[in-house]
């Protein structure tokens, strides 16, 4: 199994409780490529690219519509080029980190740190390989409807707007890096499939990402019987 072409892997990184010494960390990511050929590797251009991605991500994260929470911080972004085997290509490259870091999210946090709401990355293919991907993003300031335990439709719809703006900014940065590159969904089944993202969607169900709680040990309490 392999990806169709070498491409870029982008990650957005953040933390909870503090921008300087976070008590725990979170990370989410997506892939950038050219559907018909490999994407080039240029170290200096990658720095420009990831700085632009980080700037757009910082704006998105701070939006009240994203409801990330004032105790949830966006700290920066990283990018690396990987080959068809999913490993660094060239192998000796170093991960490119964005310069500087962002800030806190919007909204008063009411949910635990492992709470997220996923974005579906849709392609022109209705089903099968590379038909859709998923990106989880923290959502700690999300009030739920008491009768359903889910988000209100307006909350979901409002959140799609800053995410769409973010992806459009990423695609603009992609075009600067190399014409024809864009955010894509990729499958490494068989010889690999790459398709550009053509739409995004989200539903009203909050997600629980348990691995985001690993940094802090649990505090047990015991009562004798």
Tens of pLDDT, residue by residue over 22-77, are 989 999 999 999 999 999 999 999 999 999 999 999 999 999 999 999 999 999 99
pLDDT confidence bin for 102, thresholds 50/70/90: confident
Can you tell me the mean pLDDT for 156-162? 97
Predicted local distance difference test score (pLDDT) of residue 212: 58
Q: What percent of the chain has pLDDT over 70?
A: 98
Predicted local distance difference test score (pLDDT) of residue 50: 98
**Least confident span in 31-35, 125-129, 146-150:** 125-129
Predicted local distance difference test score (pLDDT) of residue 174: 98
Please report the DSSP string for the chain in residue order.
---SS-EEEEEEEEEES-SSS-SEEEEEEEEEEBTTBPPP--HHHHHHHHHHHHHHHHHHHH-GGG---TTEEEEEEEEEEE-TTSSBSSTTPPPEEPSS---B-SS---S-TTEEEEEEEE-S-SSSTTSEEEEEEE--S----TTTSS--HHHHHHHHHHHHHHHHHHHHHHHHHSTT-EEEEEE-STT-EEEE--EEE--S--EE-GGGGTTSPP-------
């Amino acid at each position: 199994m392999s990806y169709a072409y070498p491409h870029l892997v982008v990650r957005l990184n953040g933390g909870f409780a503090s921008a300087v010494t976070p008590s725990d960390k979170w990370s989410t990511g997506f892939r950038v490529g050219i559907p018909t050929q490999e994407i080039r590797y240029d170290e200096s251009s990658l720095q420009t690219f990831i700085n632009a991605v980080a700037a757009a991500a910082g704006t998105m994260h701070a939006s009240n519509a994203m409801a990330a929470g004032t105790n949830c911080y966006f700290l920066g972004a990283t990018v690396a080029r990987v080959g068809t085997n999913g490993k660094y290509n060239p192998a000796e490259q170093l991960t490119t980190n964005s310069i500087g870091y962002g800030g806190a999210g919007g909204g008063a946090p009411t949910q635990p740190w492992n709470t997220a709401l996923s974005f579906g990355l849709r392609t022109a293919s209705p089903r099968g390989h590379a038909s859709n991907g998923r990106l989880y993003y923290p959502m700690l300031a999300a009030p739920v409807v008491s009768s359903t335990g889910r988000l209100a439709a307006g909350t979901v719809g409002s959140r799609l707007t800053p995410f769409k703006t973010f992806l459009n900014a990423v695609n603009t940065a992609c075009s600067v890096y190399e014409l024809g590159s864009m955010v894509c969904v990729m499958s490494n089944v068989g010889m690999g499939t790459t398709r550009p993202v053509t739409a995004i969607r989200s539903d009203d169900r909050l997600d629980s990402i348990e691995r985001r709680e690993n940094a802090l040990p649990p505090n047990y309490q015991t009562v004798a019987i």
